[in-house]
Amino acid sequence: MHVTDAQDVRRVSVLKATGLIEAAIDPAFDTGGSYRLAQAALVVCITDEGHAEIDNLRGRNASNTDAPPKPARTGIEPMHYLRMIERSTFPLRVDDAQEINCIEALKQAGFVDAAISPVLAWKESREPQELAVIRRITPFGRAQLARGTS
């Protein structure tokens, strides 16, 4: 599903950050070089966790079904990453690509205040790299952590 309404893109960002859906979010740039809120998103699918949450909301216990075990997922989940940095000293500088993917999802969801550079070729490396600086976890992100949602 392609989403272009600003509120819907934000909702998609939250669902992606919490691991309930798989989605591609269009990170647009303004002329100042900083990220602004995405203007479009493409929802790819509902994850197994998302289906379990839907079943839970409908009053079904997904753990009682005879569903096959979930395949192992690779990479870091954004909410797990948010928990990892919960007690960090900010600003936090990050150059790991997987972590930056999490930061982008968390930023789009409104859970962190962060700046992410465009991909640049640094002097020390032949490979282009990104750099992210997390300024803080937002009150919305802290509320999500307090809910215990992962």
Determine the average pLDDT of the residues in 84-112. 90
Q: Which residue has the higher pLDDT, 66 or 86?
A: 86
101 with 124: CB under 8 angstroms? Answer: no
Q: What angle do CA 11, 17, 20 make, to 5 degrees?
A: 80
DSSP string, 26-68: ---B-TTSSB---S-EEEEEE-HHHHHHHHHHTT--GGGS-PP
Amino acid type, 47? T
How is residue 108 written in tokens? 């789009």
This prediction has a pTM of 0.55
Supply the mean pLDDT for the chain: 76
Quick: pLDDT tens for 16-66.
Answer: 888 888 888 776 533 343 335 567 877 778 888 888 877 777 776 544 444
108 with 17: CB under 8 angstroms? Answer: yes
Q: Which residue has the higher pLDDT, 7 or 114?
A: 114
Provide the percentage of residues in the chain whose pLDDT is more than 90: 23
52 with 62: CB under 8 angstroms? Answer: yes
Task: Indicate whether 116 pLDDT > 90.
Answer: no
Q: Which helix (H) or strand (E) is 17 found in, with range? A: helix 6-17
Amino acid type, 46? I
* Strand-pair partners of 134: 92, 114
